Structure 1
Amino acid sequence: MQTSPPWSRLISFSLITAVLLLIVPLIALSFFNHPSPTDDYCFANTSMRYGFWESQQIYYDGWSGRFFHNFIVHGSPLVLHWLTGYKVYPVVLLILLLLACYAFASQWLYGFNARSKLTVAAGLFLGFVGTLASLAEFLYWYAGMACYSLSAVFLLFLLAVLLAHQRRGFGVQPGYLLLESGLLLGIIGSSETSMVMGMSVLGLVAFGGLVIHRRLSVAILVLLVVGGVGCYFLIKAPGNAIRMGMNPNSANIPLTLLSSLTYSVGYLARQLFLTPLLPLSVLYWPIAVKLAQKRPLPTYLKLHPVWGLLHGAATVLVLISLHFYAVGVPPAHRLVNIINLVFWLSWGYNLTLLAVVFKTRWQLERWLLARPMLVSGVLAWAILAVGFGPVVRLAYGDWLSGRAARYDAAMKQRYQQMAETQASAVTVVPLDAYPVSMVMEDVKTNPEHLWNRCWADYYGKKTVTLKAIPGQPTP
């Protein structure tokens, strides 16, 4: 993003302002958030019935080896009957994500001024959050936050720490290794998708060390061992075999390969033409050129762009293929959120590698900076792409229309009904407002549905049923 005044200041001001405008409705919506029937009550019931620590073992043996995720969800605010916690954690998550973006940008642009770092952090935050495939699953669903959102935050912090560690020679420094190991285990223990994401980063660091220095440092060997142990406990969990065995389309390799490649073509097209990726890339190029001129050049910028491109493409393809392999269908939106972050980070890295190779042949940054109207147009393109993207319109719409407030009032009325009704069988009316930015799904008309049973158990009822309204679709 432009570094010569006055246009660099305009870009910085515009992107930071856009971030603030994006955050406003996200924070406002958090005040109307509630626990989701999807998983939240089930995890809470398990923890309340069997205890926090035994619940970890139950899920590890019976359903999922996601040890960090299991740790977080079984300590949810529902366990403490603290419903206000569901209005607090989205704000905390947003703050952590902002800090993580800045931490990464600060280390990536080490030696640059604070404005450049803030600008890159703002561009990354806008590109990622402004194009989330599912806002509700990333920010307002507690179980999804524990499984995917936190791992995205941890990845950015891990990259920041690795960059700082590399500048100090990547030696055996206990402080760095402990922090890197903790972040890595948190990423791996969140989900299989996060595991691939975290190990891909380590793989790139190790590969760079072998190509450039013909050796692996002791520090990266330690981290590879830590990562390997985390992967072992995730993959070998007895619950994983049970979960995979319940789906007849799992482990179909031909289907996985063909479907993943087909999906990847559409995914790349959407990223290029339906997101602010291209205009933000143009704005980032002058900074990439300045990075390429650093002396001495950092090890991670000495790789040939072909290796960076192969690594990024392989990582994204593997991440896409995981859901096809597991259940035979395209990645769920909550997975696409994470894939997007990896794609954007890899894209920026490869742009920088290209700048290292072509900085003396391509004078794009000088050509751009000599045409302020063009720079302004590219900046407007980036901001409009975010503004007309799915997140801004959805968040502002649910907030300003009053849907979020009506949903909040309806949920509070349900809680009051559950507390005051003496009967063991309770029927609740459908929500009169359904803010898609926050809500994934409701309880069902079938009282035997898992979400209904978990809701009923939490409130000490035998059954909970959603009242069927004639003429309305049945959940």
Structure 2
Amino acid sequence: MKHPLIDRLATVIVIFLFLLAYLPLVWLSFHNHPSAADDYCFADTALKYGFWQAQKFYYDGWTGRYFSNMLVHGSPLVWGWYDGYRFIPALMATALVGAIYAAVSELLRTESLINRVKATALIFFLVVLSLQSTVEAFFWTAAMATYTVPTILTIYLMAVLIRYNRLSDGPKKWLTIVWTSFLVFAIVGSGETNLVVLILLLLAITGYRLVFRRKFDPLMAWLVVVSLVSAWLLFRAPGNAIRMGSNEAKAGELFPSIARSFIWLGRSIAFWLLKTPILPFTLLYIPFARRATRQGSPVRDLFMIPAGLLTVVYLGLLAAMIFPSYYGLGIAPYARTMNILFVFFAIGWFYVVTVWVGWIDRRGRSLTVLQKWPAPVWLLTGIWLIGSIITSNAVNQLYADWLSGRAATYDREMTERHQQLLTSADTVRLRPISVYPPSLFVEDVKPDRTHWWNRCQSGYYGHKALVLDSTLTANR
């Protein structure tokens, strides 16, 4: 039985939670600036040698990530649009919301628009709540191109694949095949983390349909071929050997890397279950899961998968996202890897829960926790939610940088620095920025004029040398 007042209150709370996560990202977006780390190096290389030659330099000398390389070598700096970086974080956050909505709308298309919007809002809120590095997720272009962009494309690809099965034969279906092929090509060419999870996911779907459904899916088989060819293009890059060689003492150990990946995953899941309100949200989600898996539901077939097998595959895919860090670099995953790992953990969690709810319901066991104990469930959710927000490093960091004025100060001083760099001089001496808001800042130029960051930035602006001079702070 529905209670209109409770439904309206829940909608208001969901909107508040979404805005709590989304608004600071948009606001801080307009304080964003290109980073001394990589951004100027990509731009300087593209301007000096040309767009395609820059791709070759990186492909041969550092990494085979051909698609993310294309993105960073076509950044706003290359076009002389310095302020373009002020829009990138907001666009990334909005694109992530859109991709999540596309996937949710396909999986729960029988639900009302408001329910699909609320589900999208809550997943996005969970993602921001759990971020280990806000700057690497939304503000640092180099990290976004390698991690955030392919994550958005992967989520969107899943939505397109589900939608494809409802299309009638014709030009639209053929165009969808071309579109999905491009998406696979782009995702694989953006980074190893999404490469691994996408190939394994495509193989799992293709294998499941072949073995359990006795059905050969030409599209999925084609996408597996596209993904493997794309992976070959990435891994054959001479630059990959150079990059892996920088950590050769620990990299390349297969079985230890697998073991470390699962151990790290177990610790991470335990942390997320405790630090985010995903468990109480799951209790509130059960009625939606029951409607999606009941007899006669148009989306029921999407969840008619052996629950135990799905759980094993789910955990394996998550561990596979960690594996490249241990195998390729010999170290625990970076914060940017953990950012996107949680995205797939959260979306996959609710999908797996839906499959388990359907499995339990088909065996005549009723899951009516919310109906039997509504007050305790709502109270638990409220307490857990408040605690999660208070202890969220990402949320606290975003609002601290915004409300304290650190982001505005950083914006003003970086703008002044940009104007100084536009002047003509052989050697430019820069004042250090007085504040470095962690939501926005990654690296700065160094006192050593020969440092890589200094050389890239001085080259971009046409200077011979660039020095960060701490003695100039007294002149403020």
Q: TM-score, normalised by structure 1?
A: 0.92
Distance of aligned partners of 1:299 and 1:93 in 2 relative to their CA distance in 1, 3 Å threshold:
same
In structure 2, do the counterparts of structure 1 residues 437 and 61 end up closer, same or farther at CA, with 3 Å as the change threshold? same
Q: After superposition, what is the alpha-carbon deviation per residue over 1:199-221, rounded to whole angstroms, capped at 9, x for unaligned?
A: 23312321331233213211111
Tell me which of 290, 309, 312 is aligned to 1:310: 312
On the 8 A contact 2:17/2:122 being kept in 1, the answer is no
For residues 398-436 of structure 1, the C-alpha deviation after alignment (integer angstroms, 9 at most, x for no partner) is: 0110000111111122122222352x2223222111110
Is 2:126 the partner of 1:127? yes
Q: Is the contact between residue 253 and residue 327 of structure 2 (CA under 8 Å) also seen in structure 1?
A: yes
Matches within 5 A, 1:40-439: 40-168=39-167, 173-248=173-248, 249-295=250-296, 298-359=300-361, 360-364=363-367, 366-381=368-383, 383-384=385-386, 385-386=388-389, 388-420=391-423, 422=425, 424-439=426-441
Query: Pick from 438, 446, 458: which aligns with 1:444?
Result: 446
**C-alpha separation in 1, matches of 2:261 and 2:212:** 32
CA contact 1:68–1:186 (8 Å) conserved in 2? yes
Separation (CA, whole Å) in 2 of partners of 1:86 and 1:18: 26
Deviation at 1:361, TM superposition (A): 4.5
CA contact (8 A) 1:31 1:87 kept: yes
Deviation at 1:380, TM superposition (A): 1.7
> What residue ranges of structure 2 are gaps of 5+ in the alignment?
none
Deviation at 1:468? 4.3
Distance 1:374 1:183 in 2: 44
User: Is 241-250 or 121-130 further displaced after alignment?
Assistant: 241-250
In 1: Cα distance, 2:54 partner to 2:245 partner: 22
- 1:25–1:292 CA distance, 2 compared to 1 (3 A): same
Q: Indicate the residue corresponding to 2:26 in structure 1.
A: 27
Contact 1:212 1:299 in 2 (8 A): no
Q: Distance in 1 between matches of 2:255 and 2:331?
A: 13
Aligned counterparts of 1:57 and 1:444: Cα–Cα separation in 2: 28
**Secondary structure of 2:417's match?**
helix
* Rounded Cα–Cα distance in structure 1 between residues aligned with 2:373 and 2:313: 35
Give the 3 Å change call, closer, same or farther, for CA 251–177 of structure 1 in structure 2.
same
1:240-296 Cα distance to aligned partner (Å, 9 max, x none): 122212322221235423432332232121111112221222222211111111436
Range moving further from structure 2, 80-89 or 247-256: 247-256
C-alpha distance after superposition, 1:51-107 (max 9, x if no partner): 112212222222211111011111100111211100011111122111111111111
Please give the alpha-carbon distance, in whole angstroms, between the structure 2 residues aligned to 1:170 and 1:302. 25
- CA 1:382–1:100 in structure 2 vs 1: closer, same or farther (change >3 Å)? farther
Question: TM-score normalised to the size of structure 2?
Answer: 0.92
Structure 1 residues without counterparts, runs of 5 or longer? 471-475
Greater Cα shift, 331-340 or 453-462: 453-462
Q: Is the 8 A contact 1:427 1:464 kept in 2?
A: yes
Which deviates more from structure 2 when the two are superposed, residues 380-389 or residues 280-289? 380-389
Q: Is the 8 A contact 1:18 1:383 kept in 2?
A: no
The 8 Å contact of residues 62 and 242 in structure 1, kept in 2 or not, is answered as yes
Alpha-carbon offset, residue 35 of structure 1: 0.2
Separation in 2, partners of 1:115, 1:47: 45
Alpha-carbon distance in 2 for matches of 1:38, 1:203: 36
2:17 counterpart residue number? 18
Secondary structure at the residue paired with 2:343?
A: helix
- What percentage of residue pairs aligned between the two structures are identical? 34
Name the aligned partner's letter for residue 57 of structure 2: I
**2:277–2:381 CA contact under 8 A, matched in 1:** no
- Structure 1 letter corresponding to 2:239: G
Q: 2:89·2:139 contact (CA, 8 Å) conserved in 1?
A: yes
Determine if contact 1:135/1:437 at 8 Å carries over to the other structure. yes
| 2:422 counterpart SS class | helix
Deviation at 1:192, TM superposition (A): 0.6
Alpha carbons 1:11, 1:119 under 8 Å: kept? no
How far apart are the structure 1 equivalents of 2:35 and 2:2? 45
Identify which range, 292-301 or 396-405, moves more after superposition.
292-301
Residue pairs, 1:447-458, within 5 angstroms: 447-458=449-460
SS in 2 for 1:325: helix
Distance 2:390 2:120 in 1: 18
Q: Distance in 1 between matches of 2:105 and 2:127?
A: 18
d(CA) in 2 for partners of 1:213 and 1:105? 24
Distance in 1 between residues matched to 2:2 and 2:197, nearest whole Å: 31
- 1:19–1:122 Cα contact (<8 Å) kept: yes
Q: In structure 2, what is the Cα distance between the partners aligned to 1:5 and 1:205? A: 40
| Matched position secondary structure for 2:449 | coil
> Which SS does the other structure have where 2:466 is aligned?
strand
Which whole-Å CA distance do the structure 2 matches of 1:432 and 1:396 have between them?
A: 19
* Alignment-derived partner of residue 473 in structure 1: none
How large is the Cα RMSD of the aligned pairs?
2.3
Q: CA deviation at 1:108?
A: 0.7
3-state SS of 2:281 partner: helix
The Cα shift of 1:338 comes to: 1.3
Give distance in 1, aligned partners of 2:384 and 2:212.
36
User: Paired residues, what number?
Assistant: 467
Greater alpha carbon shift after TM alignment, 377-386 vs 230-239 = 377-386
